[in-house]
Amino acid sequence: MMTPSAEQPLLTVEGLTKRFGARTACRDIGFSLWPGEVLGVVGESGSGKTTLLGCIAGQLTPSAGQVWFEARESGRVDLAALAESDRRRLVGHDMGFVHQNPRDGLRLDVSAGGNIGEPLMRAGMRHYGTIRGLAAEWLGRVEIDATRIDENPRRFSGGMQQRLQIARNLVTNPRLVLMDEPTGGLDVSVQARLLDLIRQLVADLGLAVILVTHDLGVARLLAHRLMVMQDGRIVEAGLTDQVLDDPHEPYTQLLVSSVLPL
């Protein structure tokens, strides 16, 4: 983190294109991401943000291009060229995915503790006491009272469910976490708490994050760098404050000037 040239990027996307039939959802996307960096991706619905996340997370196979990832065990690999089973295993190990709707990322028929313990068991951990201890510790880190470890998350508020989803994703120490509108459906007061939590965890764990959001305020507070997408392309990219305070492209200027003043 101290000397920028010393380390390799964790993720390098090159010429990534994804077509669905005649429609091109992502066109020729390229960028690099280093450990400790939060990259915001903004743009309106249908601009290709979620498709891009899907291609990086291995849920979608790109039509063209490479997704170079520095994997913990196997070193630098092109995720786009891996067989689907290999890709899923690697992604499961080294990446987290926080969905907008916590119900898509949690198992609602399993206790809060079970939701955090499950990824640990999938990673090969067997000792019940250790798993339960880690689950309790992570509940604390995401500010959920550890006495609720055996409760079903269906009874949690939306903000708590979202924090539980974050714990479930971070307990296995991923290096890269993809977040799709993580504060999307939440009340503003709950949003602030979650933003603060994400900010702290990212800093403490040195995570790399790709944060998809349509909320420029969220992007400003969390992202170091910003990419603006329109119609499947990156139209503008740079430091977050540069892009928001000195937007060059017509579309970015429109986005920034459309935010209602507070």
Partner 1 sequence: MNRDDDAMIETRDLAKSFTLHVQGEIKLTVLDGINLSVGAGECVVLDGPSGVGKSTLMRTLYGNYRVDQGAILVRHDGGQVDLATATPRLALDLRRRTLGYISQFLRVIPRVPTLEVVAEPLRARGLGAQEARERAGALLERLAIPRRLWSLSPVTFSGGEQQRVNIARGLLAGHPILLVDEPTASLDADNRSTVVTLLREARSAGAAIVAICHDPEARAALATRFYRLPPRELAA
Contact residues: partner 1, CB under 8 A: 1-4, 34, 37, 192-193, 195-196, 199, 203, 220-221, 224-225, 237-239, 241-242, 245-246, 248-250, 253-254, 257
Q: How far apart are CA 254 and CA 196, in angstroms?
A: 28
Range 124-133 contact pairs with CB under 8 angstroms and sequence separation of 24 or more: none
Smallest separation (angstroms) from partner 1 to the CB of 96: 21
Helix (H, G, I), strand (E, B) or coil at 215: coil
Q: How far apart are CA 242 and CA 236, in angstroms?
A: 10
Q: How far apart are CA 17 and CA 126, in angstroms?
A: 41
Smallest separation (angstroms) from partner 1 to the CB of 32: 8
For partner 1, the closer CB: 90 or 235:
235
Smallest separation (angstroms) from partner 1 to the CB of 189: 8
Smallest separation (angstroms) from partner 1 to the CB of 120: 27
For partner 1, the closer CB: 1 or 146:
1
Helix 158-170 to helix 188-205 angle (10° resolution) is 10
Please name the residues in contact with 63: beta carbons below 8 A apart, sequence gap of 6 or more. Answer: 17, 18, 19
